[in-house]
Amino acid sequence: MNNLELLTQIIQKSPLNEDDSKRMIKFFSQAEDKELIPAIALFTSRPEFLEIINDNYQKKIITLNALDEKEWDNIIKEELKLLLKLDQKTV
């Protein structure tokens, strides 16, 4: 089993609905197999991050389609806050 197949199983067992699951599988299918290893590790140890990443991805798609630079900046600021919060927990 390759990493995409493993990640697909993880996504399909998650609380994401069918459309969101398909969207995330399509998103991750663009990556090289070895690039999926960190995602597999994250979603296995912290499954709630799949929903966070899915929500973030959807916000970005909507914002890009709307060409809304202000909202894009807000999304990036939210990401930064989350990353800083996560970094503090690992230190």
CA distances from 90 to 3, 36, 50, 77, 85 (A): 25, 21, 19, 20, 9
Position 91 confidence tier, pLDDT thresholds 50, 70, 90: very low
pLDDT attached to residue 90: 55
pTM: 0.82
Position 7 confidence tier, pLDDT thresholds 50, 70, 90: very high
Paired tokens of 34: 């070895």
How far apart, in whole angstroms, are the C-alpha atoms of residue 51 and residue 64?
20
The residues, ordered by sequence, that sit 6+ positions from 58 with a Cβ below 8 Å of its Cβ are 20, 23
